[in-house]
Amino acid sequence: MCLSFKNPSKTFASQLCFLRRAESLIFALGLHTRMASDDPTKLHPAVLIGLSDDDPTAVSRKQDHIELAFKSRVESAELDGRFYYEPLLSPHPPPGSQPPFPFLGKELRAPLWVSSMTGGTALANVINHNLARACAEFGFGMGLGSCRQLLYGNEFLADFDVRNTIGPDLPLYANLGVAQIEQLLEKKESGRIPELLQKLRADGLIVHVNPLQEAMQPEGDIFKRPPVEVIQELLQTLDIKIIVKEVGQGFGPESLRALMQLPIEAIEFAAAGGTNFAKLELLRSDPVKQLIFEKIAAVGHSAVEMLGFVNALKTELGDRCRVRHLIISGGIRDFLDGYFLLSKSSLPAVYGQASGFLKYARGEYADLRSFVEAQVRGLELAQAFLRVK
């Protein structure tokens, strides 16, 4: 039974009961309607009746609780079954508590990556500079979109030239398609690649391997040789750091087996499940082609499946595994996907997003900043309270 309102007991249960009765009284007297007053000389009603002066929002918060309780049900089918929830084992992590860690020869403060997105459009300058600014503020790396336009001229250089924004200490990689590499090697013009890296002050080159996108693209390139041979020749010809990625369909196990034995810095998954460039190009082509090819655009490997391949191959290959890092990307929706996949990776990894960042990078920096800050905070909370099953 509740104790008297005038005589709250020291026990927790009776204090709670006291609060409830005080709250009822406030509502009965209609005092809550005056709580939003801007007049700083007016005391909070809870303080007026001597309820509490160190928790001034208690009354309105509890009213919110009552109103929102019925909207806050999470049905068991909605539960995320990938994690154990362990609320007892950690305090709240302070924001910014993720320790720095080495990645691609530099030091990151958050395990995120901006996946490559095209430059050369009116918005590209804003997007790339916003993204680079977020990298600098939160401490993660960035892959530029295809820099093909910069191979033969500097008309679009300003769109891609973000080294001053991201700063000298974080990884920044240029990007070319394997088709362009093949053509440059064939024409004995591979020297244009180090020139490109120099003008962008990039740490290395991302090579995107996209045979289905090229095949679906009305103006797409044709590969004359298997991409793995082109990448091998590139590695033999130039002394530069290389990352290899797909563009939204991922890599199957035999492609991963070949890649993992090459002396490359990282594999970026660009897995299926998010933006898919074969499908995107198909949407730009004629309706008959769309009908015939839509099913092949739906073939590919998810990031979860690819990570399973990579972990098994790392064990199988042993010392023959030469790849050093993973960028787990393609269809990553949020920090929970990222945390899950990073926890499962047997290689040092970060998680990458393209369209996820793009959504917030086209306008004010403040929008992107809020998004990234929430992602990083989410990761900190996940690290503290979730364990992967």
Ligand X SMILES: Cc1cc2nc3c(=O)[nH]c(=O)nc-3n(C[C@H](O)[C@H](O)[C@H](O)COP(=O)(O)O)c2cc1C
Tell me the sheet residues that pair with 173.
143, 204
Site for ligand X in 277-306 (CB under 6 A): none
Closest alpha carbon to 324 in 211, 204, 228 = 204
Site stretch for ligand X (CB under 6 A), options 42-50, 196-204, 244-252, 253-261 = 244-252
Q: Is 208 in the site for ligand X (CB under 6 A)?
A: yes
Q: CA 246, 250, 255: angle at the middle one, nearest 5?
A: 85
The reply on whether position 115 binds ligand X by CB under 6 A is yes
* 130 sits near ligand X (criterion: CB under 6 A): no
Task: Work out whether 270 is an interface residue with ligand X (CB under 6 A).
Answer: yes
Q: Are 227 and 178 in contact (CB under 8 A)?
A: yes
Q: Tokens 């959504």 appear where? A: 359
Query: Any idea what DSSP says for residue 272?
Result: B
245 binds ligand X (CB under 6 A): yes
Q: Which of 358, 373, 377, 384 binds ligand X (CB under 6 A)?
A: 358
Q: How far is CA 265 from CA 231, 235, 315, in A?
A: 13, 11, 19
Asked if 250 is part of the footprint of ligand X (rule: CB under 6 A), the reply reads no
Q: What is the DSSP letter of 179?
A: H
Query: Under the criterion CB under 6 A, does residue 355 sit at the interface with ligand X?
Result: yes
**Contact between 274 and ligand X per CB under 6 A:** yes
What's the DSSP call for residue 209?
-
The reply to whether 145 sits near ligand X by the rule CB under 6 A is: yes
Instruction: Give the pairing type, strands 266-268 and 101-103.
Output: unpaired
Q: Is 384 helix (H, G, I), strand (E, B) or coil?
A: helix
Binding test (CB under 6 A) with ligand X, winner from 45, 171, 338, 356: 356
- Does 338 help bind ligand X (rule: CB under 6 A)? no
Q: How far is the CB of 165 from ligand X (least distance, A)?
A: 19
Cα–Cα distance, 362 to 127 (Å, whole number): 5
Residues pairing with 386 in the sheet: 85
CA–CA distance, 291 with 109 (Å, rounded to integer): 46
State the residue for tokens 């015939």.
Answer: 292
Identity of the residue, 45 or 180, whose beta carbon is nearer to ligand X in the bound complex? 180
Q: Does 128 bind ligand X (CB under 6 A)?
A: no
Q: Which of 278, 330, 341, 342 binds ligand X (CB under 6 A)?
A: 330
Measure the N-to-C terminal CA separation of the chain; round to a whole number of Å: 44
Closest contact distance (angstroms) between CB of 73 and ligand X is 31
Place of tokens 């995320």: 80
Of 149 and 290, nearer to ligand X (C-beta) is 149
Taking CB under 6 A as the binding criterion, the range among 66-74, 228-236, 245-253, 379-387 that sits at the site for ligand X is 245-253
Stretch that binds ligand X, among 83-91, 295-303, 327-335, 340-348 (CB under 6 A): 327-335
What residue ranges bind ligand X (CB under 6 A)?
Answer: 115-118, 145-146, 175, 208, 245, 247-248, 270, 274-275, 329-332, 353-356, 358
